[in-house]
Chains A and B, each alone.
Chain A
Amino acid sequence: MYGRVAHARPFVALIAAVGIATLVGCGSSGNPTSTSSGGSTGTGAVKSSDCGTKPGVKATGTPINLGAIVTDQTGTSFADIAYMADAYFTCVNANGGINGHPIKYYIETEQTQPAQIAGDANQLVQTDQVLGIVGNTSIIECSVDSSYWQQHGFYIIDSGIAPECYSTSNSAAVNMGPRYSSDGAVQYAISQHVSKIVFDQANVPGTQHIAAGPNALAAAAHIPIVDLAETPPVTSANSVAIKEVNDAGPNGAVILNFTPPDALTILQAAQKLGIVDHVKMWGCSTPCNTDFLAQSLGAQWNSKLFVNAELTPPDSTNSKTMQLYNAILKDYGSSGPHKVAGGVGSFSQMGFTEAEIAVHALEGIKGAYTVASVNAAFKGVTNFDTGMLCQKWTYGGYSSHLPNNMDYTVTPNNGKMTTAQGCTQISSVDPDIAAYRQEAGVAPLDPTANG
């Protein structure tokens, strides 16, 4: 989910800025009684109907309205995240709902225009009468709407991209976002004793904020780092790949922070040019963690590309949560207008996890479902076992929110992404991580994440 780009050519002004971002996720409730997913372990067969408390019983009560705003534009689309959340909610509605109430989910798409995004928030609150916001994933939405949500008492459960998704009191993400996921990728490269790092990312709003993390880690390790930025969508991939390899050198690492399409374009260009082995390793933030990318790249990248994975690797995990995720994706996310186009991967895992947390919180509400009760429930989620993250997930009343700050590293292995390194804390050398841990501490491990 990191950036993607635009390329402009005369005549028509096409340009798209595009965004990016990484997302991570984890967490689950300290009260894993409600929905089927809430981080269960074991390997028994799980059906999608296990998503609800009453399998096979359709919810017919008064709807609980929830909403989401996602970027969906040429070159950058985070729609899969909201679509997967929608699949989860649809599953819950078909299997008992929330105490008999179905969830009605409103998805607004935007094209990185602040006025449009502000209008979307207003539409959701004033017109659609949503009680909570779940699944937001946008390049600039957190920056635009943060104060609006605060004014209206909303505590957002989202996939973060913009800095405000992490640095404010009323947004908690399941992912780490582009900066901290890039930290993870750079951290892994440093652990492999590379002599130089080239950090290349999509030239979208927030690039300096994102680059600050990797630069801090490289500086602490006394390793030179070169920062590059490409206008998305990447249309000169050959040149980009050559430039990265030239700058990194034979013992260096190239770390990419792009959306999957752009990252794949660059990696394929390197492959076509035969320069994959001209550097010691390639790295990538979370967006590259998709089987689609592993399948597209082929065996040449096995143990050559290392991807930061903010969520439990789906190919190497057979927990009940992962089985439920796969079942819901298959039964509710594989067709229709909200088809999860990317299939298994970080984006759909994030949508699943956000919906899972929301359903868990909603099921704990006693009394009427109102903006106040729903958002109090969201904010009150503590040490929830999502089954998708290294750590238990907590919202809490903190001034900033980085509930997911421990992750995996995966590598392609014959068309699948497999674990190269297990749960590892992102370094507190990044001052943002240090500040959050000082306030919230280090969350316990999620025992259900790996089955």
Chain B
Amino acid sequence: MPSWQNFQPFIVTGLALGGVYALSGVGLVVLYQATGVVYLALGAVGAMGALISYSLIAAGVAPWLTWLVCLLFSGAVTLAYGMIFGPLLAKREPLVKATATLGLLLVLFGVMDLLWTTSSGKVRSLTFPTDGHGFSLGNVNITWTQVIGLAVGIAITIGTAAFLRFTKLGTAMRAMANDREITATLGVPVRRVEAAAWLGCGILAGIAGLLLADMVALDATTLTFLVISSLAAALIARLRSIVLTFVAAIVVGLVQNMLVPIPALTSYSNMAPFVLAAVALLLISRRRVITLSREEA
């Protein structure tokens, strides 16, 4: 068993990754609450945004501008999908809605494989000015990028909670989470509220894509399927509680990383999100029947 000292740097990386999982998990929960859609394409959208940012930087564009382009792209694609397919699938079962987003994922994945091929030994990376700079806590180096990862997760969680509680739009979203039909009859502009949710979720996907491209890898496959970790956190929170999503994401990030220094378990670290989600859902299901239908919940 590794010493406590060996675990320390993995706690830092776990917290940083957990923060990023949290912000995309929060996006998933808010979108689900507002529209009933589990947005499985979140990772792919962020991945493509990050790759666009990479290409623009390589072409000489200022990095900060490319980050903005990434967020705009992610927001625009997600909003467009929501506006086109949201109404068409509004009456369908949640499983159908979720599966439809897999279609978007596959389209984006195919485009990325075409434009940013992974064969021929190509290597890409995205770096932030905060990489390699930071401070030491005991024997552990903490970079500002890692601090940002966790801080953004916390800020998004608090900001979203406040937004849902204190703003008119947030109140409308919460109302739609309870009952879309009644909310509509009360005069709430349902389409506009849904559009805001899609746009917000898309922007969060872009932020997560940029951070994960730096902290994990700028690779279409990796980033696309990192959504699973965020989804695990959202599922543990039963796609309802933002705060619980944040806590679950941090736990997922920590467990995933703290398994690495344990030689017997290091190969299983990537399983952590699924195992945690499965255990949590099993425990929850002992007390009540789980349903994927927002209206029935």
Contact of A341 among B122, B127, B222 (CB under 8 A): B122
- Whether B267 sits at the interface, judged by CB under 8 Å, is yes
Which residues of chain B come closer than 8 Å to A272, judged between CB atoms? 127, 131-132, 143, 145, 214-215
Pair A273/B260 contact, Cβ less than 8 Å: no
Pair B225/A259 contact, Cβ less than 8 Å: no
Q: Mark B13-48, 1 if CB is under 8 A from A, else 0.
A: 100000000000000000000000000000000000
Pair B131/A271 contact, Cβ less than 8 Å: yes
Decide: A233 near B219, CB < 8 A? Known: A10-B228, A268-B125.
Answer: yes
Chain B residue with Cβ nearest A75? B118
Closest Cβ of chain B to A294, distance in Å, is 13
Decide: A239 near B257, CB < 8 A? Known: A246-B6, A246-B9.
Answer: yes
> Chain B CB within 10 Å — which of A260, A265, A273, A275 has the most?
A273
Pair B143/A273 contact, Cβ less than 8 Å: yes
Which residues of chain B come closer than 8 Å to A264, judged between CB atoms? 123, 125
Measured in the bound complex, the distance between the Cα atoms of B224 and A14 in whole Å is 12
Decide: A236 near B221, CB < 8 A? Known: A260-B121, A274-B134.
Answer: no
Measured in the bound complex, the distance between the Cα atoms of B257 and A264 in whole Å is 21
Pair A235/B217 contact, Cβ less than 8 Å: yes
Pair B10/A11 contact, Cβ less than 8 Å: no
Decide: A273 near B141, CB < 8 A? Known: A8-B270, A9-B226, A72-B119.
Answer: yes
Within 8 A of A (CB), among B162-221: 214-217, 219, 221
Contact of B123 among A76, A239, A265 (CB under 8 A): A265
- Whether B55 sits at the interface, judged by CB under 8 Å, is no
Pair A11/B225 contact, Cβ less than 8 Å: yes
Pair B143/A239 contact, Cβ less than 8 Å: no
> Chain A CB within 10 Å — which of B9, B10, B226, B261 has the most?
B9
Within 8 A of A (CB), among B253-297: 257, 260-261, 266-267, 269-270, 274
Interface residues on A, range: 35 or more
Measured in the bound complex, the distance between the Cα atoms of B216 and A235 in whole Å is 6
Pair B122/A261 contact, Cβ less than 8 Å: yes
Chain A residue with Cβ nearest B124? A261
Which residues of chain B come closer than 8 Å to A240, judged between CB atoms? 260
Closest Cβ of chain B to A337, distance in Å, is 11
Measured in the bound complex, the distance between the Cα atoms of B270 and A10 in whole Å is 10
Pair B10/A342 contact, Cβ less than 8 Å: no
Closest Cβ of chain A to B4, distance in Å, is 12
Closest Cβ of chain A to B168, distance in Å, is 37
Which residues of chain A come closer than 8 Å to B219, judged between CB atoms? 233, 235
Chain A residue with Cβ nearest B229? A9
Which residues of chain B come closer than 8 Å to A80, judged between CB atoms? 120-121
Which residues of chain B come closer than 8 Å to A8, judged between CB atoms? 270
Which residues of chain A come closer than 8 Å to B134, judged between CB atoms? 274
- Whether A73 sits at the interface, judged by CB under 8 Å, is yes
Pair B120/A12 contact, Cβ less than 8 Å: no
Pair B225/A9 contact, Cβ less than 8 Å: yes
Pair B120/A341 contact, Cβ less than 8 Å: yes
- Whether B133 sits at the interface, judged by CB under 8 Å, is yes
Pair B215/A77 contact, Cβ less than 8 Å: no
Pair A77/B143 contact, Cβ less than 8 Å: no
Measured in the bound complex, the distance between the Cα atoms of B277 and A138 in whole Å is 39
Which residues of chain B come closer than 8 Å to A260, judged between CB atoms? 121, 123
Which residues of chain A come closer than 8 Å to B131, judged between CB atoms? 271-272
Pair A274/B143 contact, Cβ less than 8 Å: yes
Pair A243/B120 contact, Cβ less than 8 Å: no
Which residues of chain A come closer than 8 Å to B228, judged between CB atoms? 9-11
Pair B119/A77 contact, Cβ less than 8 Å: yes
- Whether A330 sits at the interface, judged by CB under 8 Å, is no
Closest Cβ of chain B to A222, distance in Å, is 23
Pair A10/B225 contact, Cβ less than 8 Å: yes
Pair B127/A77 contact, Cβ less than 8 Å: no
Contact of B222 among A12, A235, A259, A296 (CB under 8 A): A235
Closest Cβ of chain A to B145, distance in Å, is 7
Q: Mark B131-150, 1 if CB is under 8 A from A, else 0.
A: 11110000001010100000
> Chain B CB within 10 Å — which of A9, A260, A300, A341 has the most?
A9
Closest Cβ of chain B to A264, distance in Å, is 5
Which residues of chain B come closer than 8 Å to A347, judged between CB atoms? 121
Contact of A79 among B120, B215, B226 (CB under 8 A): B120
Which residues of chain A come closer than 8 Å to B260, judged between CB atoms? 236, 239-240, 242-243
Measured in the bound complex, the distance between the Cα atoms of B266 and A264 in whole Å is 21
Which residues of chain B come closer than 8 Å to A12, judged between CB atoms? 225
Closest Cβ of chain B to A4, distance in Å, is 8
Which residues of chain B come closer than 8 Å to A292, judged between CB atoms? 123
Contact of A236 among B9, B118, B127, B270 (CB under 8 A): B270
Q: Mark A1-20, 1 if CB is under 8 A from B, else 0.
A: 00000011111101000000
Q: Mark A165-198, 1 if CB is under 8 A from B, else 0.
A: 0000000000000000000000000000000000
- Whether A328 sits at the interface, judged by CB under 8 Å, is no
Within 8 A of A (CB), among B221-260: 221-222, 225-226, 228, 257, 260
Which residues of chain A come closer than 8 Å to B2, judged between CB atoms? 246
Contact of B9 among A72, A77, A242, A296 (CB under 8 A): A242
- Whether A234 sits at the interface, judged by CB under 8 Å, is yes
> Chain B CB within 10 Å — which of A11, A236, A268 has the most?
A236
Pair A243/B121 contact, Cβ less than 8 Å: no
Which residues of chain B come closer than 8 Å to A74, judged between CB atoms? 118-119, 221
Which residues of chain A come closer than 8 Å to B266, judged between CB atoms? 243
Decide: A341 near B121, CB < 8 A? Known: A235-B216, A239-B257, A273-B143.
Answer: yes
Pair B141/A275 contact, Cβ less than 8 Å: yes
Which residues of chain A come closer than 8 Å to B257, judged between CB atoms? 236, 239
Q: Mark A357-396, 1 if CB is under 8 A from B, else 0.
A: 0000000000000000000000000000000000000000
Decide: A73 near B225, CB < 8 A? Known: A239-B260, A265-B217, A275-B141.
Answer: no
Closest Cβ of chain B to A418, distance in Å, is 21
Which residues of chain B come closer than 8 Å to A341, judged between CB atoms? 120-122
> Chain B CB within 10 Å — which of A238, A240, A246 has the most?
A238
Contact of B261 among A9, A14, A72, A246 (CB under 8 A): A246
List A residues at the B interface (Cβ < 8 Å). 7-12, 14, 72-77, 79-80, 231, 233-240, 242-243, 246, 259-261, 264-265, 268, 271-275, 278, 292, 296, 300, 341-342, 347
| Further pairs besides A271-B131, A272-B215, A275-B9: 13, Cβ < 8 Å | A9-B226, A10-B228, A75-B118, A76-B121, A236-B260, A237-B217, A246-B9, A261-B121, A265-B125, A272-B214, A273-B9, A273-B141, A278-B141
The 10 listed contacts between A and B (C-beta, < 8 Å) are: A7-B221, A9-B270, A11-B228, A74-B119, A80-B121, A233-B219, A234-B217, A235-B217, A239-B10, A347-B121
The 5 closest A-B pairs by CB, nearest first: A9-B225, A272-B131, A261-B123, A341-B120, A239-B260
